[in-house]
Structures are given as C-alpha cells and as structure tokens.
C-alpha cells in the first residue's frame, strides 16, 4: 500500500473521511482533510478528561472526593431549562445505578472514557466547566475544535451551540498527552498525563481502530459515534516501532450509530488502522 492508494480508496467512501497519521515527534506521514470539521460525538471526552486532571493538579478539585450523582444539568443556552440524559443512549449502567448516591470524579472520568458514559461526562463537565475544556484545546494547539455544550443539551444544539473536532486537532490533543507523559508538557505533569493515557489504554470499545491492530497491541484511544458519524483517535504503542498517532474522523452514511453493531464505518476505520500498522516502520 502507498498513501496515494489509501487516499484513492477513501475517495470512494461516501461523505467526508479525514485522517492524520504520524509519529509523535515528526511531521505527519499522511493527512487527508485533516482540518475538516466534524461533529465531535464522544471524542470530546478526552478534552474533558484533561480539564479534570488539570483542575486536580491546580488544587481546585479533588479527584477522589465523592460528588452527587444526579441527572440534571444546566444548558449551555442561556435561559434554557435544565436538561437530563436519556438512559437508552448511554453505554454504562454502572453510572446510572448510582443516581441518588455519590461517586468520585476519578471513577466518573474512568467510566466517561472506558465505557463512554454520557451521564458521567456531563457530571464531570459540570464540575470542570466549559472554559476549562476550551483551555485544553488551546493548550494542545487545536485550531478548529471546540466543546460548546454537554451531551444531549438539545436546547443548546437547537441554538447552534455544538461540539466540533478535526482529525488534526484530535491528533494534537493525544500527542500532547503522550509527549507529556515523558517530559513536562503543555497540558499536565508527566504523572497526570501517564494516568490519563492509562485510562485511554483501558478503553473497552475496540470495534474500530483497535480492531485493525494485531491482538494485544496497545492503543490509548477514544472513539465516538452517532448516526452518520464514526471517529477514532489514539496513540498506538508498538513493541517494534516508535509510538504513532492515528486520528480518523468520518461523517458518512456508513455509520449507523449503534455501539452494539460493527457497521461499515467501523470496518473502514479498522481497515485504515491496519494499513497504517503495516507502514509503522516508515512513518
């Protein structure tokens, strides 16, 4: 495979397919519409995770203190009523089972990533605030991504407030975390970056980028999906080559939006991931 071959293959996919591939410390080996904006789906949860750990390091939040588990949140649209999440659209019964009780922010952040819980995301976001997430994007060097609202904040969505990502910006965010685990970086201390990467390594939704890698290959990643959208972004850690970044964003009719089904969009991301893996020594 050449990168031109991959690009030609993706030209035949309906919709928009964006990609960024490259080593942590080098220019990208392959990009395709890397600055095209896509609805973020759950990939924005990585920025929320980073905002939480930054707040903990600043001493404004305690990761292990219990917080109330509720299902009512302020809308990002001024004057709109508070909103709630719908359980059928979530991926983690464990968080819902704690409504009316408490949980630590650390545990909620873990569930936000490894099970992609929307309820956990909105709980964490309620404690860190949208401005802190915007600061994470800026510090990572993102140019076109923003987190404007919580998940299922339909009043804000109707007002045009949304969450947007690009493949290049997701790669920048994951790259900042990976680089920061080794040396003091832009986002957080090496200890905090390592902790965040460990959470991303524990990701349980592995039907797209991870599915294209050999069994046992480590990938610190987050994916996101709704009908018409399937994204995946991560740091792949081969045993026989330097780590590399891969971010793929698709806005396509191939994405059914069901986390229980390996649809054609999942297969597409797995195919891209496999092609990049095969070229890992040449990145």
Local confidence pLDDT in tens for the 283 residues of the chain:
799 999 999 999 999 999 999 999 899 999 999 999 999 999 999 999 999 999 999 999 999 999 999 999 999 999 999 999 999 888 899 999 999 999 999 999 999 999 999 999 999 999 999 999 999 999 999 999 999 999 999 999 999 999 999 999 999 999 999 999 988 888 999 999 999 999 999 999 999 999 999 999 999 999 999 999 999 999 999 999 999 999 999 999 999 877 666 789 999 999 999 999 999 999 9
Question: What CATH superfamily is the domain 3-282?
Answer: DD-peptidase/beta-lactamase superfamily (3.40.710.10)
Q: What is the pLDDT of residue 89?
A: 83
Cβ atoms of residues 99 and 123 within 8 Å: no
Q: What is the pLDDT of residue 183?
A: 86
The Cα 254–Cα 264 span in angstroms is 5
Cβ atoms of residues 66 and 194 within 8 Å: no
Q: What is the pLDDT of residue 1?
A: 76
- The pTM is what? 0.97
Q: Is the sign of the CA dihedral 264, 265, 266, 271 positive or negative?
A: positive
Q: What is the pLDDT of residue 184?
A: 84
* SS (HEC) of the chain: CCHHHHHHHHHCCCCEEEEEEEECCCCCCEEECCCCCEECHHHHHHHHHHHHHHHHHHCCCCCCCEEECCCCECCCCCCCCCECCCHHHCCCHHHHCCCCCEEEHHHHHHHHHHCCCHHHHHHHHHHHCHHHHHHHHHHHCCCCCEECCCCCCHHHHHCCCCEEECHHHHHHHHHHHHHHCCCCCCCCCHHHHHHHHHHHHCCCCCCCCHHHCCCCCEEEEEEEEECCEEEEEEEEECCCCCCEEEEEEEECCCCCCCCCCCCHHHHHHHHHHHHHHHCHHHC
Domain spans of the chain, in order of start: 3-282
What token pair was written down for 96? 């819902």
The Cα 166–Cα 143 span in angstroms is 9
Q: What is the pLDDT of residue 262?
A: 73
Q: What is the pLDDT of residue 70?
A: 98
Nearest to 46 by CA among 174, 153, 231, 185: 174
Which residues fall within 8 angstroms of residue 156, CB to CB, at 6 or more apart? 75, 76, 77, 80, 148, 149, 150, 162
């Amino acid at each position: 495979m050449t990168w031109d071959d991959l690009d030609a293959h993706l030209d035949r996919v309906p919709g928009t397919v964006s990609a960024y591939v490259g080593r942590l410390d080098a220019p990208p080996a392959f990009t395709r519409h890397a600055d095209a904006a896509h609805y973020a789906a759950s990939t924005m949860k990585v920025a929320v995770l980073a905002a939480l750990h930054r707040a903990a390091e600043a001493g404004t939040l305690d990761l292990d203190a219990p917080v109330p588990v509720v299902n009512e949140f302020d809308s990002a649209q001024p004057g709109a009523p508070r909103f709630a999440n719908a359980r059928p659209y979530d991926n983690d019964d464990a968080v819902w089972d704690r409504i009316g009780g408490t949980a630590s922010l650390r545990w909620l952040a873990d569930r936000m990533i490894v099970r992609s819980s929307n309820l956990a995301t909105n709980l964490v976001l309620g404690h860190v605030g949208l401005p802190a997430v915007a600061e994470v994007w800026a510090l990572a060097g993102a140019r076109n991504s923003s987190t404007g609202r919580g998940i299922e904040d339909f009043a804000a969505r109707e007002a045009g407030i949304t969450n947007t990502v690009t493949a290049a910006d997701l790669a920048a965010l994951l790259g900042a975390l990976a680089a920061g685990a080794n040396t003091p970086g832009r986002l957080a201390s090496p200890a905090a970056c390592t902790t965040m990467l460990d959470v991303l390594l524990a990701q349980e939704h592995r039907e797209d980028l991870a599915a294209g890698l050999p069994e046992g290959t480590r990938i610190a990643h987050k994916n996101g999906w709704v009908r018409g959208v399937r994204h995946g972004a991560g740091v792949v850690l081969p045993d026989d080559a330097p780590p590399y970044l891969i971010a793929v964003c698709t806005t396509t009719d191939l994405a059914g939006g069901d986390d229980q089904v390996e649809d054609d969009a999942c297969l597409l991301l797995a195919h891209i991931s496999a092609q990049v893996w095969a070229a890992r020594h040449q990145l």
